[in-house]
A and B are shown apart, each in its own frame.
Chain A
Amino acid sequence: GAGVSQTPSNKVTEKGKYVELRCDPISGHTALYWYRQSLGQGPEFLIYFQGTGAADDSGLPNDRFFAVRPEGSVSTLKIQRTERGDSAVYLCASSKLAGAYNEQFFGPGTRLTVL
């Protein structure tokens, strides 16, 4: 079956602009995660959805970042007034459940460059 897909694969924007990054999880996966990976670092947690609700958004760096998952499937990460420091690869992952063990399947990521 299809894996996690993310669009766009690359996004170049100017400082101050608004961007949306999309994640389409594996069908039937209720848990969805957004991570941010800066150059040379491991991914860092941003936000977690269980179904439609954001169960934990403690990783969002500030109020310029927001994410939605209105129908419990596709999720959109929204960044307002982008800054150069937002440049990174944004990874989405999904899993069947968020239990003590569950494998998270990652998408290919969106590389965001803020000029």
Chain B
Amino acid sequence: AQKITQTQPGMFVQEKEAVTLDCTYDTSDPSYGLFWYKQPSSGEMIFLIYQGSYDQQNATEGRYSLNFQKARKSANLVISASQLGDSAMYFCAMREPSGSARQLTFGSGTQLTVLP
């Protein structure tokens, strides 16, 4: 079963508008971490934002916020005031501490295109 599901292969947004990228996850661990990474065409993975499963408030980092709905097992990324430089691939990822490697498990990504 997929641990991280991103159902939007591609999204378009007008510059200066807000956009929400969907992510649902599956885990039986009560303690886990959720991450969003941005991957521009250059290929490097850029960390954007983190949400811990026990965090009471939704995480925010500048124009990025995470809409964390624990009961629904969703962790959607909201980008406000989109900029042309936001055009990139966006990956949702999860870490479960019960795994020995504590590796990240990634979704298949969403390609975001910001239109001028």
Contact = CB atoms under 8 A, between A and B. Distances in A.
Nearest to A44: B106
B14 interface: no
Interface string B3-38: 010000000000000000000000000010101010
Contacts of B101: 33, 45, 48, 55-56, 58-59, 98
Interface centre among B35, B43, B93 (most CB of A within 10 A): B43
Given A42-B107, A42-B108, A59-B103, A107 B44 contact: yes
B47 A43 contact: no
Contacts of B31: 100
A105 interface: yes
Given A40-B108, A89-B43, A48 B102 contact: yes
Interface string A82-115: 0000000101010000111111111111010000
Interface string B97-116: 10111111111110000000
A42 B109 contact: yes
Given A42-B91, A101-B50, A56 B97 contact: no
B57 interface: no
Contacts of A104: 47, 104
B106 A103 contact: no
A62 interface: no
A114 B44 CA distance: 21
B104 A55 contact: no
Contact of B102 (A98, A106, A108): A98
A93 B45 CA distance: 9
Contacts of A102: 102
- Listed from nearest, the 5 A-B pairs whose CB atoms lie closest are A42-B106, A56-B101, A106-B45, A48-B101, A45-B103
Interface of B: 4, 31, 33, 35, 37, 42-47, 50, 52, 91, 93, 95, 97, 99-109
